[in-house]
Every structure is written in structure tokens, then in C-alpha cells.
Structure 1
Amino acid sequence: MNGTTLEALDAMRSALRGPVVGPQDPEYRRARTVHNAMIDRRPAAVVRCADAADVMAAIGFVRDAGLTLAVRGGGHSGAGLCLVDDGVTVDLSPMRWTHVDPGARKATVGGGTTLGDLDHATHAFGLATPSGILSSTGIGGLTLGGGHGYLTRKYGLTIDNLLAADVVLADGTSVRADSTTHPDLFWALRGGGGNFGVVTSFTFRLHPVDTVGVAITVWPVDRIHDVLRWYRDFLPQAPEDLNGFFAALTVPPGPPFPEEIHGQKMCGVVWCWTGDPELLETTLQPVEDPGRPAFHFMAPMPYTALQAMFDELLPPGLQWYWRGNFFDRITDAAIDVHAKYAENLPTALSTTHLYPVDAAAHRLGPDDTAWAYRDAVWSGVIAGIDPDPDNAGQLRQWCVDYWEELHPHSMGGTYVNFIGAGETPDRIRATYRDHYDRLAAIKRTYDPHNFFHANQNIQPAPAA
């Protein structure tokens, strides 16, 4: 660590309210640990910012010292973009707060807030906003990438419900971005990732969501052809109150699954129903069409419980490698690829998911936000997961092979948060389609020197 770096870290320790954790500190190992244990990077420091003022000051010190900055919200980045060797991580995790205005159906949250924090606060008022499927996920990274989950077909993407954001820019100033103030920045934040600044707070629109109908349906994996052909036709024409993501999985050893199918490879759908509880059973009667399920579970459940359902199955500290694709259809040829790799899941936790991004998510126009795939019907992810570091190479190879065979049947781009480690800049450009040049121009306005580059990076457009 050179003298300039040491001076910058010492200056931050004196000026900031939050702690600056360096390699010599007992907390360092924990501070540099993220959800994905495959990531092992050693930043010069992790700055745990207490508030927006800390973020503003930290950016100034890091910029002036010529160091690389990364930003951590919930620490779920599969590619580990919240850490950079020898750089500085601005850690927003102390900024976990939520203020709910139930009358206005709005919630404002700090940049380090998790989905579980937000859900807990809004559920008390019978409200929610669309987000992801693990409560430990950070709301910041999820939102900036777009955000899809159980409520997407009913209420759209997370970014479709973003009303405003407070952003610290590369020059250390803070601005508020919404539809009337810095509207170009607000457009870019809705899907453009962490390229434009550090978001210290988000304000979301809320919707009436309380108890939801939850169902899990699984079939033996050798029925995957029939199941996917049925699913691709059934869900897009189903009521918007019904969401269901497809999964290939190894049945975990625990409830609600009966012991006789524990450890078996299956394919299935996890359903969420926001309509009249009395209509769920009738709505899901067609699950018998592709063949009798091995297991079909239905129950009313608080939305917060559904959001946390898979948290214990996928705790921090696992090895992860993932890649994604957008699909406007599920072709027979794609189903053949899914069948090949689903029957050969490399580990008990490895999986593939297809998340619906249609219905309400299609109501916004293709140019209304930076999300460039309003014509996509599914957002797919292939995830190799296991606790054993010795299996990391196997996970990666299975994921890459699967992705390379499936990609020709996709739309070409992917959900930005599913871009894996080591993927090329061409993948980022493909993800933004014709929006890339507009994003690059906005990047030039707000971050002309690409200070925020530890992300799925958009290069600033050359000066005119």
C-alpha cells in the first residue's frame, strides 16, 4: 500500500462517522466477505458509510487518491462487483432504514436496505413493491439492474415503481433524480446499473399486497419437455395475479416436500397468486395437463414469508457462478437444451430459473427506461451453486456449457444483474441494445472519467 493510499485512508478515518476497515483490522475478513464465497478479493479498505455525507466525503478521498471505488449494498453481486483488489469499497450496509408513508403508498429506503427490511416495514400496512425472491438481497443493486420477482406480472419491474433516488455523483455532490429533476439520470438509473453514482436512498410506489396464495408444483425431471411446453403456453395467457417461475432443481430435504422425493431431480414452478384466495385452486387446475405432478402444494402465506422462503436454502458463503439470457419464447430446441442440463445438475443446489417479465412489465414503452427488453417474456438464469470450493471449476464449466448451448435460442441480451464474472463488454452492449449510446452520453454528463467502473460498465461517450 503506497503513501498516497495510506494518507487517503487516514484522512477518511478522521473525517467520516462510519469506520474505515483495513487489512490490519480484526473486522477486515468479515468486511470483505460477500454472499458469493467464490469471490476472494482484498480491497485496501472497506468504508462503512453511516450516511450520505460519509458517501460524499469517501468519494472525494478515493477520487483524489486515484483509487478504484466499488459499491456494496446487500453484497449479493454474483460477479463480486462490490469488491476490488487494492481499491476501496463504499459499504452502504449501515444505511438500512425504511420510512413508509401508507397514505401516499410510498416507501423511502436507505442505500443499504435489503428486500427483507423493506418487506417487513411495508407489510405492516398491507403494502409491497415488486422486488426479488431472496429477502437478503440488497434493494440497491437489484433496483439499478431492473428488478423482477413474484409481483412482476401484477405490478411490473422494481424500476417501474421507482419514484425518485438520491445520488452521490463522481464529483462528490448529491442530487435528487426523478421524472422532473435530472430526468436523464433518472432514466439511466432505471436499469443502467451502478454506472452513474452511489444511490443513497430510493423512493418506491407501493401496492396492496398482504397474504398471497403460494403454490409449488414439481414433476420428475424426465417430464421437462411436457412441462415446459405447457408452461410456455399457460402462463402468458394466465391472469396477471398469477406469477410462476420455472425451475430445474434437486428437491431439498425439508418441508414442504415429502421425504420420498428428497434428493430427486425435478422440474417445477413456484407460484404466487395476488388475486381472490378462493380462485387459486381453480386457476391452477391445469397443472395436471403436462402429467400428474409428483408434488403439488398450496397454502395462503404472508408475502414476507414467501420472500424469505429460500433464504435458509441459499445462505451466504456458498460458491456461485451464474449467467443469464432473455427469451421472448421457449422453443422446442431450447427445451432440448434445458432437458440435457437439468438431468445433469452438477450439485444439489445448482439450478436454472425462468422468471416471467411480461404482463404489467410490458405496459411501459421500450424507451421509457434503460431496461431494453420490454418485449422479453422470460428472464432466465443458470446458476451453479455448492458449499464446497473444490467444486467451483465444475460449477463454472456446467454453467458456461449450458449457457453456450442455450444462448442461440435467446434474444441476445440478459438481465444486467445476471452478467457473470469474465463476460465480455459485448454482452453489456447486447443487454442495452439501442439504449447503449444514450446511456453512454448520460455517463459522459455525470461521470465523464468513468470513476464508477467497478460494475457492468458503460464507457462514457467521447466528447462531442
Structure 2
Amino acid sequence: MNPETVAAPAALSGKLITPDDSRYRTYRSTYTTVGSPAVVAVPESAGDVAAALTLARDRGLPVAVRSGGHGLSGRGTNHGGLVIDLRRMNEVTVLDRARRLVRVGAGARWAQVARALGSHGLAISSGDHGNVGVGGLATGGGVGWLVRRFGLTVDRVRAVEVVLADGTAVRADADNEPDLLWVMRGAGAGAGVAVAFEFEALDLGNVGYAQLAARVDPQGRVLQRLGAVLKDAPQELTTAVMFSSQGPVTNAFITAVVATDDTQAISRAIEPLLGIGDVTLQQALLTPYTSLVPREHLHVNVGQMPTSTTNGLLTDVTPAAGRALVDMMAGPTPLFVQMRSLGGAVADVDPAATSFPHRHQRWLVTASTFPPHGHDDLLKAWEPVGRHTEGAYVNFESRPSQASFERTYPGAVGARVAELWRRYDPDGVLRPW
């Protein structure tokens, strides 16, 4: 499609990027996926977003929405369609310090948010990398360094400013459009374009930070012991584990964050991790929360890390699940595997309160392949582990489909999400697959 076929409405003058534009290379892709959209709209207001949606409908263009960050699912770009890139809508404002109420544009990235709020002694429970975009995380779930202490990112959302597929601008909060608020907190991709959020932030300054390494035995007993530790751990402790396998040898690299500046409490929280097996403590320190999602993480996203990703949620690391995980990591397909802890404050929320229903599971397990291995290779390697999972997280699924929808939004939750998607976007303009 040539530029003449996507002539800009007056509202979008100077805000459309087409393939003949020198900026196109830095706007066409996400971190993991190289796209070839016919046009990228870079709005600066809700009105601009509405104009972009009108353009897409008029030209029959499929729509992808990008909030400016990583976009591991790959849904932030497309081929031959229109991409709405929200990166210019990135303002961070403290609305009421006493109530810890802040407004964040959907195009901000978490490094920007952390820095802006840090000077006020505030933080938001967000992702685990500064380059992650606010919009995608705050409409999908939000699993990060504070998740066990303060819950998911969606649990801190008090209002969302949304542009619906027909161009209508709506504020969704507990009193106005509560159904829209419900679906935007966990399943927002199919309901509307979030342009800003109001969050109830946290009083937070320094946190405990530790890195540990452990040898993983073939039976996965180390993983079972880690699961047992987190089951009884204080809510302040959140962990993320990355694995590295070389032949039959698998090593686990554990990052532990303790959401307090009480050094004794930090020591008490970390100490049980040293007893899960052959563990070495590499470092432990007190650090500002902003150092966990620093500005150094910010980079352009030009498809530089092509990956295919899937995931599942575990309630417990059973002996069978532990063995399946180790077998997968030591198998013939090279994988990047992570385990992120849940539970704690996540489980304190009523599963019906948001469209993220997975409240009793304690672990999010993700697996990614890199070229030349593709999605089929990933699914084949994942299948033995997948048998032990219960549910999935939308933001770590590279191939959205009806099957992944049913894993992410099971049963009555899925029925309600589908009904609300039809209500707010009857023509399926924003349907994620």
C-alpha cells in the first residue's frame, strides 16, 4: 500500500509514518518482532487515537496498538495494517500525593515512571525491565519485582482513559463504566485503546536485592524446595529465576527482591533460599527501587531479539512438574526459561475483581526459542511442561488464538471477556487475533 492510500486526516497531520519515511525502521517493530505495517500513527492525544482508528476503519486496515516498550507477545505490530504507537503519550503526573494517586500515559515506559515517581517516594508495582511499556502491562496483568507484596499492576489501577474502536473517549472507573474498567484490567487488548491510567501508587524507597546461583539436579528437587520456600515466605519477597543449560547440567540464577528497607527483614527473607540446595550468594544489597528498572534499560525496538514465547502457571512445583522442567531445559531445543513467583498479595485479590483470574497459582513459567528454532519447536519442547500448568498469562504468548484465549481467560471469565469485547468493539477492530 502506498502513502497516497493512507492520506492523513487533518488531526493526524505530521503524525503518520509510512515505509518511505526515514523514521519507519525505528517505528515498524517491537523488540521481538519485525513488522511491515502500511502506516504507523504516532498520536499525541485521545483525539489523535480516535482519528487513527477512523483511518483504519475507512481503509480496512487491521490495527495493532503499541505502548512503546518491549512487546514480547509481538502484538504491537503487524503486516500491511495500521500501528498505533503511543510513545508520545508518556506523561507521569502526581495527582494527589496524600492519596498516592498518579496518572500515567499509556506510552510511558517503566524506567520513566520509576524515575518520575522516585523523587516523590512513590512507586508502582510494575514489570521487571525498564523498557517495558505501561499500556501493555497495565491492560494485561503486570508481574514484576513487587508482585508478591503489592499485587499485579492491574490491581493498582483505579481508572483508565480509553478510546473505543468507534472513536468514543471514555473514562472507566468504579462509578463510571465499571464493566469497561473490569475488562481493561487484564483483557484490555480487545476492548479499547488505553491512553492513560490512574494508579494508586506505593510509598517505597529502598528495597533488598540479592542474586544467587544454584545447581539444578536432574529430578528438579531444587525447584521443589524453592517452591516450598516461597509458599511460606513473607509477602515482601519476590523472586525471578533464569535457567542456563549446558548438556545435562542446568543452573538456576535467582534474583530476589525484598520490598522493605529493613535490613533484618531482608536477611530473614533471603536466608531460606540458601537452603534449597547447592546455592551460592553472589551479592546482596539495599538499593533504590529505581535501580531495578533503570533508564539504561531504555532502547529502541527494531526486532533485534526475534523470539517465540509461550507460558503457563503452576500452583505447585510437584515432583513431576520439577522433572518435566529440567528435562525441557536439558532437551535438544535451546530455550530461554524463566520462573517468576506469584502468590502473596496476588492471591489476596478476589479472582472475580479483574479480568486476570489466576489468583491461586504461585508461579509463572515462560519459555522462548530463538532462530533458527521456531514456534513449532517451542510448542513441542513445552508440551510435557504444559501438562502441569493451569492457565496462562496473555503478555507472554506469541501466537494469540482462541486456544490461548481459553487458557488465559477460562470458563466464566472468558465468557464475560468475550461479551464485553463484543459490546465495546462490535466489529472486532481490535481483536487480538
Give TM-score scaled by structure 1 length.
0.86
Higher mean C-alpha displacement, 308-317 vs 112-121 = 308-317
Contact 2:165–2:192 under 8 Å retained in 1 = yes
Equivalent residue, structure 2, for 1:447:
425
1:26 aligns with 2:22: yes
Equivalent residue, structure 2, for 1:355:
340
Deviations along 1:297-334, one digit per CA (max 9) or x if unpaired, are: 20111111122499499986112221100111111111
Give, in whole Å, the separation in 1 of the partners of 2:104 and 2:215. 42
SS at 1:140 equivalent:
helix
Give, in angstroms, the shift of residue 286 of structure 1: 2.1
SS at 1:190 equivalent:
helix
Identify the match of residue 8 of structure 2 among 4, 8, 11.
11
Equivalent residue, structure 2, for 1:277:
263
Equivalent residue, structure 2, for 1:303:
289
Equivalent residue, structure 1, for 2:39:
45
Pair 1:32–1:230, CA change in 2 (3 A):
same
Equivalent residue, structure 2, for 1:402:
381
Structure 1 stretches of 4+ with a deviation exceeding 6 A read: 312-316
Equivalent residue, structure 1, for 2:51:
57
Contact 2:26–2:300 under 8 Å retained in 1 = no
Give, in angstroms, the shift of residue 32 of structure 1: 0.4
Give, in whole Å, the separation in 1 of the partners of 2:364 and 2:325. 14
Paired positions, count: 427
Contact 1:98–1:110 under 8 Å retained in 2 = yes
Contact 1:48–1:94 under 8 Å retained in 2 = yes
Give, in angstroms, the shift of residue 368 of structure 1: 1.0
SS at 1:164 equivalent:
strand
Report the AA paired with residue 318 of structure 2: T
Give, in angstroms, the shift of residue 82 of structure 1: 1.5
For structure 2, the residue ranges without an aligned partner over 5 or more in a row are: none
Give, in whole Å, the separation in 1 of the partners of 2:162 and 2:295. 32
Equivalent residue, structure 2, for 1:255:
none
Give, in whole Å, the separation in 1 of the partners of 2:296 and 2:240. 14
RMSD of the TM alignment (CA)? 2.4
Give, in angstroms, the shift of residue 75 of structure 1: 4.1
Give, in angstroms, the shift of residue 265 of structure 1: 5.1
Give TM-score scaled by structure 2 length.
0.92
Give, in whole Å, the separation in 1 of the partners of 2:343 and 2:175. 27
Deviations along 1:123-160, one digit per CA (max 9) or x if unpaired, are: 11111111110110001001111111111111111111
SS at 1:268 equivalent:
strand
Pair 1:20–1:424, CA change in 2 (3 A):
closer
SS at 2:48 equivalent:
helix
Contact 2:218–2:327 under 8 Å retained in 1 = no
Equivalent residue, structure 2, for 1:80:
74
Give, in angstroms, the shift of residue 400 of structure 1: 2.2
Give, in angstroms, the shift of residue 417 of structure 1: 0.8
Report the AA paired with residue 17 of structure 2: V
Give, in whole Å, the separation in 1 of the partners of 2:301 and 2:12. 31
Deviations along 1:341-360, one digit per CA (max 9) or x if unpaired, are: 3335866xx53122222111
Report the AA paired with residue 202 of structure 2: H
Give, in whole Å, the separation in 1 of the partners of 2:175 and 2:50. 23
1:334 aligns with 2:321: yes
Give, in whole Å, the separation in 2 of the partners of 1:191 and 1:215. 30
Give, in angstroms, the shift of residue 24 of structure 1: 1.4
Give, in whole Å, the separation in 2 of the partners of 1:450 and 1:111. 21
Equivalent residue, structure 1, for 2:31:
35
Give, in whole Å, the separation in 2 of the partners of 1:338 and 1:313. 32
Contact 1:145–1:193 under 8 Å retained in 2 = yes
Q: How many percent of aligned residue pairs carry the same amino acid?
A: 29
Equivalent residue, structure 2, for 1:418:
396
Equivalent residue, structure 2, for 1:460:
none
Contact 2:312–2:386 under 8 Å retained in 1 = yes
Give, in whole Å, the separation in 1 of the partners of 2:295 and 2:254. 14
Give, in angstroms, the shift of residue 121 of structure 1: 0.9
Deviations along 1:346-383, one digit per CA (max 9) or x if unpaired, are: 66xx5312222211111121211111211211111112
SS at 1:193 equivalent:
helix
Higher mean C-alpha displacement, 271-280 vs 43-52 = 271-280
Contact 2:207–2:257 under 8 Å retained in 1 = yes
Pair 1:351–1:30, CA change in 2 (3 A):
same
Give, in whole Å, the separation in 1 of the partners of 2:298 and 2:308. 19
Higher mean C-alpha displacement, 119-128 vs 94-103 = 94-103
Contact 1:164–1:176 under 8 Å retained in 2 = yes
Give, in angstroms, the shift of residue 424 of structure 1: 3.6
Pair 1:282–1:32, CA change in 2 (3 A):
same
Pair 1:287–1:345, CA change in 2 (3 A):
farther
The 5 Å alignment of 1:19-418 reads: 19-36=15-32, 39-101=33-95, 102-222=97-217, 225-249=220-244, 266-275=251-260, 276-308=262-294, 311=297, 317-344=304-331, 350-385=335-370, 392-394=371-373, 396=375, 399-411=378-390, 413-418=391-396
Pair 1:156–1:201, CA change in 2 (3 A):
same
Contact 1:135–1:308 under 8 Å retained in 2 = yes
Give, in angstroms, the shift of residue 223 of structure 1: 7.1
